[in-house]
Amino acid sequence: MEIIWLALMAVLLIIEIMTLGLTTIWFAAGALFAFLTALLGLNQGIQIGVFVVVSVVLLFFTRPWAVKYLNTRTVKTNTEALVGKSARVIADINNLKSEGQVVINGLEWTARSSDDTIIFRTGDVVTVVGIEGVKLIVEGQKKGD
């Protein structure tokens, strides 16, 4: 039975290395613990129980932490990278008239204010706080920005 647990652990580790999805690594750890129980001579029911319990515990309690702290190299792409950046108003932003444009990174975007009562004038500098469809949602910059 020891060989089966080692083979399962090897297969799961190979899958993890190929995908880097932080999913099968927890089951590989479960297989390692099951292998250790097999070495101790415990019966197959206990080995399978150890495999399931260790895998599930690691999956539910350590995966969220690992995803948060180990996958930090995710690079925002396309429009989501615009949130938090400054833009210059090139056409007055007036939500009630459904008009407004900004330029950011050399590209023109339709823009709307996050507050319908605020109008931004041409030349104002605003901060992108969100994206709805193809429109940037902007707010005025706070003092010191």
Domains of the chain by residue range:
2-70, 78-140
Q: How many residues does the chain have?
A: 145
| DSSP class of 142 | P
**DSSP per residue, 77-105:** -GGGGGTT-EEEEEEEEEGGGTEEEEEET
Mean pLDDT to the nearest integer, 26-49: 94
The whole model's pTM is what? 0.48
Question: What would the two tokens of residue 77 be?
Answer: 């792409």
pLDDT of residue 75: 57
Give the tens place of pLDDT for each residue, 116-132.
999 999 999 999 999 88
Residue with more model confidence, 32 or 143: 32
pLDDT of residue 105: 86
Place domain 78-140 in its CATH homologous superfamily. Nucleic acid-binding proteins (2.40.50.140)
Q: Is the pLDDT of residue 145 over 70?
A: no
Mapping DSSP to helix (H, G, I), strand (E, B) and coil, where does residue 106 land?
A: coil
C-alpha to C-alpha distance for 134 and 100, rounded to whole angstroms: 13
* Surface-to-core class of residue 37, CB atoms within 10 Å of its CB (0-12 exposed, 13-18 middle, 19+ buried): buried
